[in-house]
Structure 1
Amino acid sequence: MRGTPGISRARFLGMAAAVGGAVALPVGAAGQAPASDGRVTPGRRGLTYRGVVYEVGAGETPATAWNVRDMRADLRAISRDLHANSVKVTGDGVERLTATAAEAAERGLNVWLEPALGDVPEREILDHLAETGRYAERLRRQGAGVHLSVGCEFVLYVPGIVPGANVQERVENLLKGDFDPVLMARRLHRFTAKAARVGRSVFHGRLTYSAAQDEDVDWGLFDLVGIDYYSYFRRPSDYLRDLAPFRRFGKPVAVMEFGCCTFEGAPERGGMGWDVVDYSKEPPEIKAGLVRGERAQAAYLTDVLAAFEAMGLYSAMAYTFVTRDAPHHPQDPRHDLDMASYSIVKTIEDRPGDPASGVHWAPKEAFQALARQYGRARRG
């Protein structure tokens, strides 16, 4: 689970993509002139940080919930086998976030800590951010490489920016046009500024925010321009054109998430890739006609990563490492929920079909492809 109880990150991505296509997201605050801080070097090539998103949600069953043993094994694989030099630790629950961040730092990974608590009052979201940020500062003072993101796509997560008691209701109101765009922009800017102030008050390293691609943000509040990137183009040069506008602020660009699901045609669906499961059936079924496509997922990730490298962006985090609530069933394609997963490893039930079964994972082609690229960069 990611931030909001009862809604998976995959579904959240789809909602964000649907909203982005149906409504113009708010324009950023005035006065966003490019900074002249010298931190962007024209012509520099290669990412500084290459990594993966690691979610710390509670899980849908005890077998798939976050636990210390699995977390440590996962981070060992991220460092040793994926050859990543960084990891974005995200989700809700300060204890889970901080324990995972500490383990990542112990393994020499640069930590991107992102609390993502949603569908609760603003004060609780900001308190959750402050507590997480204070821990991030302690890690930083101990010598760890740490960045702090104040949150993710507030227009959907934070109550009160648009009407609706939860993410589903807010998305419905956005799609139906049941909102005031001027008031929405004002509320979003106000809350983003509050979150930035809280982040600055407790953390003295580099600060950012994970914004939807269509969401204009007052990047003067932050040290890094952070975006969740799920675009698809047939020509690699189009990625460079699409990403170029994010350089205009004169600050390093951090790709906070990028990825796709695991079936043929998933890259073209981007953030809507999750929408291939019929949840009206029990158990849920993959919609007819889909073909599993680990190679398609791997090719997309390596193509967009090459664009990030060519532009010399600051960082890129593949979304996501593991989705334990979406098991892979190789002998039963109708129930191969991993096809609708963005993860770079596939979850396998120890006893297929048994909800109480333990789970383990195996690398997908995407994991192996990223490991080759990350490994070459690390050796270089």
Structure 2
Amino acid sequence: MENTDGISRARFLAGTAAVAAAFAAPPAGRAEAAGRRTRRTGLGHRGVVYTVGAGETPGTAWSATRMRADVRVIRDVLHADTLDVTGDGVDRLTATAAEAAERGLHVWLQPTFGDIPARDILETVAECGRFAERLRRQGASVDFSVGCEFWLFVPGIVPGATVLERVANLQNGGVDMTAMRRRLAAFTARAAATGRSVFHGRLGYAAAQDEEFEPVDWDLFDVVGIDYYSWFPRRPEYVRDLRRYLRWGKPLAITEFGTCAFVGAPRTAGMGWDIVDRTKEPNEIKGDVVRSERTQAACLTDLVDVFESMGLYAAMAFEFVTPDAPHRPDDPRHDLDLASYAITKPLRDRPDDPASPWHWEPKEAFHALAARYGACRETV
């Protein structure tokens, strides 16, 4: 997450629901993976983020049936070869990771738990890490990330009982930044040690791109993971900016990248979500925002081209779908999809009913990424 004040685009707005039991993970088979070999140039892994969570309503909660259908689309239509499985709920995480591995996708498994005690977060890191190790031993291609932007999601690093309280404290300047960084470093080291104790493949972490705000000891990890939301007018400037993350001599994974579908969104440097007035019910879009799926598509494909040119280890677009940000084509004031980073748009059968059944449709960004990903993969 990126902003000049050190805090940014609120993934927390969609992803901090309490853990709920959902689905027991089956063992992953490798029949499909064995038959799908590719020769790659440029990026090592091209993927998309798939967030699992309890949802704001039962209808928008994670669904095993919907997930399986989505994974097939991600592989066969989007032409991604990697799924970044993130969010909360160990059962949801492991079931989704198992399905992705079964379908022959490279898995980046990354639990992201917010607003639960630090010791419980470490226990879930260990549980997810053990599952990732089982997948790896079964022959799956899998990396394990111990988490994402701990300063935001782990209580006790930044004062505040909830994600929203912690962000407010950062915004009002009521945080001792030196003490915060010390606590952050200590927890990151504990999480890395926990991951190492149970997982023996590539270990990673997803950090904010502001290194002054969130300095990470990358000696603890095998892969440098960055949530990347910078904007520059020219591609060479992206290359110069990204090169600083290569100085550790380790693979660089772009664990999030993307923007929203409105004019000017890329220039917000990851703050596109902030066009929603959440004090109103229902939530509504602030100002005169002009929808532009083409803007989002161009931003994503330009970034993929940059990542390809640099031969980075992996890049995962944020994100596949955001169920709780429905598209309202006939009601722009309540078109919450304008503030979504997803490459698909959810549409409710009954737009005014939050409990309505829904489906997603591809945005221009989906088609643009599919063309890029498909062109970059040469099956042998």
Equivalent-residue separation in structure 2 for 1:308 and 1:238 (angstroms): 12
Kept in 2, the 8 Å contact 1:259–1:270? The answer is no
- Structure 1 residue 273 and structure 2 residue 310: aligned? no
SS of the residue 1:326 aligns to: coil
Offset from partner CA, 1:240-295 (integer Å, 9 cap, x none): 01101001000010000001011111111132100111223222211231111100
Equivalent-residue separation in structure 1 for 2:353 and 2:261 (angstroms): 23
Offset from partner CA, 1:62-118 (integer Å, 9 cap, x none): 111101110001101000000000010001110000000010011100010001111
Partner residue, 1:324: 323
Kept in 1, the 8 Å contact 2:7–2:167? The answer is no
Q: Displacement, 1:18? A: 5.9
SS of the residue 2:107 aligns to: strand
Kept in 2, the 8 Å contact 1:18–1:272? The answer is no
Q: Displacement, 1:332? A: 1.3
Kept in 1, the 8 Å contact 2:45–2:82? The answer is yes
- Structure 1 residue 355 and structure 2 residue 354: aligned? yes
Q: Which amino acid aligns with 2:101?
A: A
Aligned runs of 1:173-184 on 2, under 5 Å? Answer: 173-184=169-180
| From 154, 161, 164, the counterpart of 1:165 | 161
Q: Which amino acid aligns with 1:371?
A: A
Count of equivalent residues:
345
- Structure 1 residue 125 and structure 2 residue 124: aligned? no
Partner residue, 2:243: 244
Offset from partner CA, 1:11-61 (integer Å, 9 cap, x none): xx5xx6364169xxxxxxxxxxxxxxxxxxxxx961000000000011011
SS of the residue 1:148 aligns to: strand
Kept in 2, the 8 Å contact 1:50–1:315? The answer is yes
Q: Displacement, 1:356? A: 1.9
Offset from partner CA, 1:212-254 (integer Å, 9 cap, x none): 0012211000001100000011111110011010010000100
Q: Displacement, 1:182? A: 2.2
Q: Which amino acid aligns with 1:100?
A: T
Kept in 1, the 8 Å contact 2:115–2:153? The answer is yes
Q: Which runs of 4+ in 1 moved over 4 A?
A: none
SS of the residue 2:274 aligns to: coil
Q: Which amino acid aligns with 2:169?
A: N
Equivalent-residue separation in structure 2 for 1:98 and 1:169 (angstroms): 30
Q: Which amino acid aligns with 2:6?
A: G
- Structure 1 residue 100 and structure 2 residue 96: aligned? yes
Kept in 2, the 8 Å contact 1:45–1:310? The answer is no
Kept in 1, the 8 Å contact 2:181–2:215? The answer is no
SS of the residue 2:360 aligns to: strand
Partner residue, 2:28: none
- Structure 1 residue 61 and structure 2 residue 47: aligned? no
SS of the residue 1:89 aligns to: strand
Partner residue, 2:74: 78
Q: Which amino acid aligns with 1:56?
A: V
Partner residue, 1:40: none
Q: Which amino acid aligns with 1:166?
A: T
Aligned runs of 1:89-238 on 2, under 5 Å? Answer: 89-214=85-210, 215-238=214-237
Kept in 2, the 8 Å contact 1:91–1:97? The answer is yes
Kept in 2, the 8 Å contact 1:230–1:270? The answer is yes
Q: Which amino acid aligns with 1:211?
A: A
Structure 1 residues 335 and 177: CA distance shift in structure 2, 3 A:
closer
Equivalent-residue separation in structure 2 for 1:51 and 1:176 (angstroms): 36
TM-score, normalised with respect to structure 1: 0.88
- Sequence identity (%): 65
Partner residue, 1:255: 254
SS of the residue 1:58 aligns to: coil
Equivalent-residue separation in structure 2 for 1:175 and 1:278 (angstroms): 17
Greater CA deviation, 281-290 or 146-155? 281-290
Equivalent-residue separation in structure 2 for 1:307 and 1:355 (angstroms): 39
SS of the residue 2:377 aligns to: helix
Partner residue, 1:20: 6
SS of the residue 1:274 aligns to: helix
Q: Which amino acid aligns with 1:304?
A: L
Kept in 1, the 8 Å contact 2:84–2:108? The answer is yes
SS of the residue 1:209 aligns to: strand
Tell me the C-alpha RMSD between the 2 structures: 1.5
SS of the residue 1:242 aligns to: helix
Kept in 1, the 8 Å contact 2:111–2:145? The answer is yes
SS of the residue 1:291 aligns to: coil
Equivalent-residue separation in structure 2 for 1:335 and 1:232 (angstroms): 27
Aligned runs of 1:310-321 on 2, under 5 Å? Answer: 310-321=309-320
Offset from partner CA, 1:336-376 (integer Å, 9 cap, x none): 11111000001011222222210101100000000001001
Equivalent-residue separation in structure 1 for 2:89 and 2:152 (angstroms): 19
Q: Which runs of 5+ in 2 are unaligned?
A: 9-39
Equivalent-residue separation in structure 1 for 2:164 and 2:331 (angstroms): 30
Q: Which amino acid aligns with 1:49?
A: H
Equivalent-residue separation in structure 1 for 2:354 and 2:159 (angstroms): 36
Equivalent-residue separation in structure 1 for 2:42 and 2:139 (angstroms): 24
SS of the residue 1:254 aligns to: strand
